[in-house]
Structure 1
Amino acid sequence: MIRASLLLAAVLLGGAPALAEPVPPAPAEAPAAAEAKEPYALVRTLHALQEQIAAGDVRAHAAQRALVQHIAERMDAADPSVWQSERNARAAVAFLLSGGPPALMRRLLELDPKPRIDERLMRGALAYVEGNEIRAKAQLAEIDAKTLPAGLGAQIALVQAALVVRDDPAKAASLLALARLLAPGSLVEEAALRREIVVEGQRGNFDRFEALTNVYLRRFRQSVYAGNFRDRFGALLVGLDLERDPAILRRVEALLARFEPEGRRELLLVLARHGFLAGRPMMARRAASLAADLAPGGSPEAERAAFYGAASLVASPQADEGARALLAIDPARLPEPDRRLFEAVADLAVQVVEPLTLPPGPMPRIALGPDKAADGGADLPGSATLRRAERLLADIDTLLERSRP
């Protein structure tokens, strides 16, 4: 299936081997050749490629942009009469919601006669991809996705869910479940499942959150977008009160065990970092400890795990232990977002730990530039620490904002 999809895409993109002499198609083959150029057939090829992306094929992901461009060029050059076919008109909407350029839909809306399809679908899809949620909702709210062909219905249900999720999470979850039902095995199902997990997690429906996570791991663990899933999953776990509910904690650890070691390690690091930033020290330490067990000794991942674990101790009754652990960490080996965080945590450790409890020698430092007084003169007592604390708060606010699903 993978090879067939990629081969078909290559043929459409002009990658098929040239024959010594042009061979006209036999009469029985001519309709099939013409059909392959129809917009609905081109979009069907794109969706076949996207199924492979959902299955984890990075080659398909790399080929997607070129195929989208090729289809856009074919559609743009199509005779206006082509859009009087309902299949082709629906394909134009599906293409737009699959990554096609909005300019094509704007041109189709100017045709006379207009494409043979409910105009609300065209205008609603265009408004959605252009970021006009109010207009998109006005156009699409009354459309029943179940009355559309399955593939397009799934895409419309996915869009409708995105438009109502803030005001009605329960309805969004229902629409996402419908999208999954209408397009099994597709990239739409994969995206709907990821989003439904987030919605149910935010609603506090742990049973549903757990069940859907198991479905995702069973069906799409190799997806090209699995990294996005891990990030959102980690951010959601921080929002659960795992420290007060041992039963939920055990169920979460059982879920984590289903991830492959590399993915589980990365997820635990995300969880440890989010836990520290969100003021969940027990969660951060537990996740950091489990991540350290999965990280090769001396690796950047091991350094990150050590840092998150130490940082979570600094603002706890075990602050002296955290400060000592920080001494063993090389901040230069941390990723860039963590280096300034390390500097601020080290400053905090100096403030909260009695100097005599620390071994001789300075804390590791990172050069961030001089801290000067507001008038451009010498440093004021405590001003450097104050400014670093302010930067830490700003960094934490930014990181928390980015971590929200």
Structure 2
Amino acid sequence: MMMRPRNRQSMLRLFFAGALFAGAGPALGSDDLEPYKMMRSLQFIQDAVVLGDHSAGEMQRFLLKTLDQRLRSAGPETFRDTRNVDAAFIFTMSGGNPQTLEYLASRDIEGEFDTRLSRVLRRYLQGQGISALPAFEELVKEYGDTAVGPYLALVVGNVSAGTEPQKALEYFDKVRLLAPGTNLEEAALRRSLVIALQVSDFTRAMDLSGKYVRRFLYSPYASQFVDMFVQLVVDGDGKIQQSQWTDVVATMDDERAQEFYLRVARRALLAGKKDLARDAASFADQRAVGPAKADDVVGQLYGHLAEISTSKVTDAAKSLSQIPDAALSDRDRNLRDAAKNIAEQILMPPAAAVPLAVSKPVDEKTEPSAAPRAQPVSAGVQQVADRTSDFQSYVDNSRSKLKQIDDLLEEEAQ
């Protein structure tokens, strides 16, 4: 069987990562391995992780710890090489021990470390990044396309996202330009998507989503992206064309595509977008293949739930009753049974209305005194009110049943 290109790339990365550590192993515990070389190894591993090699996560944790120890044990002469100084800054912005930069900067007697950068990073790590934003922006310009540049741009994008979202998007775009295919680009794409959704820029959000799926679908952070992509599809319903997002989903493997469609169906139901829920449930059924074929029953379940509040409620109730217990989890089975019960109550006719009492017309040949006496007007009004009240109670009751479905779906989503 031919190996998929993605799998071949993953195996090659693991092979080279293994070779790297096998060759560096004896030296990792020594003091002569340059920090910048160790930083390159860390970057290699971090990029491999977001490209789908989750097994490299343990290597990442090991190297972060080892590099931390190496930086702390390095003598002043080590940092006469600016590459090692850059490695210390990058380490701090790559998930390394934040106290290490403080340790190194406090012992820098030769002025090797940029005190401005050390100072603003300290404020950022202390949660005071907003106050340091002007200084950060100047440093981003100064460091430009150096090794520190894209890391610094990512930090500044994070800092400015809450107050100046458009400016943050520009910084994230800069990161993607300077560091394509890396863990930095993966982070920049996700964070850009958050902002695009916040400002309802659906065009930009669709473009970002397409790039993410093509490059980082197998990242360990992809679940965060999928949450946002589902939100984009549901919130953007009517604002973006269905073909735009289905074309993106078409590039996913069947298992992920089916899961995505089911999540769209669930969220669309909660949002009251029944047409979208039905379409998504149908798409999930189409992408169910092999062992996942049994899961298409869940798609049918959500599709039928979307029909309960429509004129097709009778067919929906019948279809729900035909879903076998064995094909559903306990949670979905309870949801199915509750929905069946609600559908049956919706179909139950309202209480028979009390007929209005209308006075019998007077026959022309009958003396007025012989005509039956008409009911008082107040009695007729009261009967109309009673009948209206009965019907309104039925409507209110039906609405409450539909509200129960929303509540059940909300419990399911949680």
TM (norm. structure 1) is 0.71
Native 8 Å contact 1:157 1:175 kept in 2: yes
- AA in 1 matched with 2:252: F
2:348 equivalent to 1:354: yes
Deviates more, 1:347-356 or 1:203-212: 347-356
Where does residue 289 of structure 1 map in the other structure? 282
- C-alpha displacement at 1:345, in angstroms? 4.7
Alignment of 1:226-375 (within 5 A): 226-242=222-238, 248-296=241-289, 299=293, 301-329=295-323, 345=339, 348-349=342-343, 351-354=345-348
Deviations 1:298-318 (A, max 9, x none): 856323312322332234443
Cα distance, 1:59–1:143 mapped onto 2, change above 3 Å: same
- Whether 1:9 aligns to 2:10 is no
1:184 to 180, 184, 188: 180
Unmatched 5+ stretches in structure 1:
17-32, 357-385, 401-405
Contact 1:164 1:172 in 2 (8 A): yes
Give the deviation of 1:85 after TM superposition.
Answer: 4.3
Alpha-carbon spacing, 1:106–1:394, altered in 2? closer, same or farther (3 Å): farther
Once residues 134 and 127 of structure 2 are traced to their aligned partners in structure 1, the CA distance between those partners, rounded to angstroms, is: 13
Q: Quick one: distance in 1 between partners of 2:129 and 2:325? A: 43
**Alpha carbons of structure 1 residues 69 and 271: separation in structure 2 relative to 1, 3 Å:** same
* CA–CA distance in structure 2, aligned partners of residues 346 and 80 of structure 1: 74
Deviation per CA, 1:351-386, whole angstroms, max 9, x where unpaired? 534289xxxxxxxxxxxxxxxxxxxxxxxxxxxxx9
Question: What is the match of residue 112 of structure 2?
Answer: 116
Distance 1:105 1:287 in 2: 49
Which residue identity is paired with 1:4? F
1:396 aligns with 2:390: no
- Structure 2 counterparts to residues 151-162 of structure 1, below 5 A: 151-162=147-158
Amino acid at match of 1:160: V
Q: Which residue of 2 aligns with 1:367?
A: none
Structure 1 residues 53-132: aligned runs within 5 Å: 53-83=49-79, 85-113=81-109, 116-129=112-125, 131-132=127-128
User: Which deviations, in whole Å up to 9, do the C-alpha atoms of 1:111-153 show, x marking residues without a partner?
Assistant: 3538733334334445545655545647634432562454421
Q: Map Cα deviations across residues 302-335 of structure 1 (whole Å, 9 max, x no partner).
A: 2331232233223444334433343344678667
**What's the offset of the Cα at 1:221?**
4.1
Report the alpha carbon displacement of residue 4 of structure 1 after superposing the two structures with TM: 2.6
Change (3 A) 1:397 1:235: farther
Aligned partners of 1:323, 1:391: CA distance in 2, in Å?
Answer: 13
Q: Which moved more, 1:56-65 or 1:218-227?
A: 218-227
Name the aligned partner's letter for residue 99 of structure 1: G
Match of 2:210 in 1: 214
1:325/1:152 Cα in 2 relative to 1: closer, same or farther (>3 Å)? farther
CA distance in 2, matches of 1:124, 1:134: 10
Question: Which structure is larger by alpha-carbon Rg, 1 or 2?
Answer: 2
Q: CA deviation at 1:215?
A: 3.2
CA contact (8 A) 1:161 1:175 kept: yes
- The answer (yes or no) to whether the contact 2:270–2:406 under 8 Å persists in 1 is no
Q: Which blocks of at least 5 consecutive residues in structure 2 are unaligned?
A: 1-11, 351-399
8 Å Cα contact 1:145/1:154 also seen in 2: no
- Residue of structure 2 in register with 1:363 after alignment: none
C-alpha separation between the residues in 1 aligned to 2:71 and 2:90? 13
Where 1:233 maps in the other structure, the secondary structure is helix
RMSD: 3.9
CA distance in 1, matches of 2:269, 2:229: 16
Cα gap change, 1:122 to 1:277, in 2 (>3 Å)? farther
**Native 8 Å contact 2:237 2:276 kept in 1:** no
Partner SS state of residue 297, structure 2:
helix
Distance in 1, matches of 2:190 and 2:343, equals 39
Q: 1:265 to 1:112 in 2, by over 3 A?
A: same
Give the deviation of 1:188 after TM superposition: 0.6
Tell me how far apart the structure 2 counterparts of residues 146 and 217 of structure 1 sit (CA, whole Å).
33
Between the two proteins, the alignment pairs up a number of residues equal to 350
Separation in structure 1 between the aligned mates of residue 236 and residue 51 of structure 2, nearest angstrom: 30
2:387 aligned partner = none
Residue 75 of structure 1 and its aligned partner are, at CA, apart by: 2.0
Q: Which residue of 2 aligns with 1:43?
A: 39
Cα distance in structure 2, aligned partners of 1:392 and 1:326:
16
Partner Cα separation in structure 2 for residue 46 and residue 106 of structure 1 = 21
One-letter amino acid of the counterpart of residue 245, structure 2? V
Partner Cα separation in structure 2 for residue 256 and residue 188 of structure 1: 23
TM-score, scaled to structure 2: 0.70
Deviation at 1:240, TM superposition (A): 0.2
CA distance in 2, matches of 1:214, 1:295: 22
Q: CA shift at 1:157, angstroms?
A: 1.3
Shift of 1:210: 3.5
Residues 182-213 of structure 1 deviation map (CA, whole Å, 9 limit, x = unaligned)? 11221111221233344334434344333333
| TM-aligned CA distance change 1:261 to 1:189, over 3 Å | same
Shift of 1:178: 0.3
Q: Percent identity?
A: 30
Whole-Å separation in 2 of the counterparts to 1:59 and 1:249: 36
Kindly state the Cα deviation for residue 104 of structure 1 after the two structures are TM-superposed: 1.9
Distance 1:97 1:75, change over 3 A: same
